[in-house]
Amino acid sequence: MLQKAYQINPDDIAVNDSIGWAYYLKGDAESALPYLRYSFESQPEPEVAAHLGEVLWALGERDQAVDVWTQAAHLTGDKKNMARNAQTSRNHIARTFSENIGNNAV
């Protein structure tokens, strides 16, 4: 259904976001990235920023993920969103740190 919607209107931001998020949920972050990047660059909305940030994070582009979350929060002036994105970033950093500690344990 999403592919059909994309064929009809490939410039639709919501369709691109949905396709990108569906790819990500299926475990294909690489395929998700161009759809989400297009959506965010076209209209930097908090939900799209959250999705793009998650994909960037999954691809190891952690600085870019934080930048996207921060940019979206500043553009919308949404202090709640800023706090949520900061917390998401902290959670990812803590999880990554814990995983690296576990991988380096003797």
SS3 of residue 4 by DSSP: helix
Cα dihedral 53/57/60/63 (nearest 10): 60
pLDDT of residue 6: 84
pTM, 2 dp: 0.73
Give the CA angle between residues 74, 77, 83 to the nearest 5°. 75
Q: How far apart are CA 95 and CA 74, in angstroms?
A: 25
Contact 86, 50 (CB under 8 A): no
pLDDT band at 87 (very low <50, low <70, confident <90, very high): low
Q: Classify residue 16 as exposed, middle or buried by CB count within 10 Å of its CB (0-12, 13-18, 19+).
A: buried
Nearest-CA neighbor of 91 among 71, 73, 69? Answer: 69
Any idea which residue has 């396709």 for tokens? 19
Residue 4's pLDDT is 87
- For the chain, percent of residues with pLDDT exceeding 70: 71
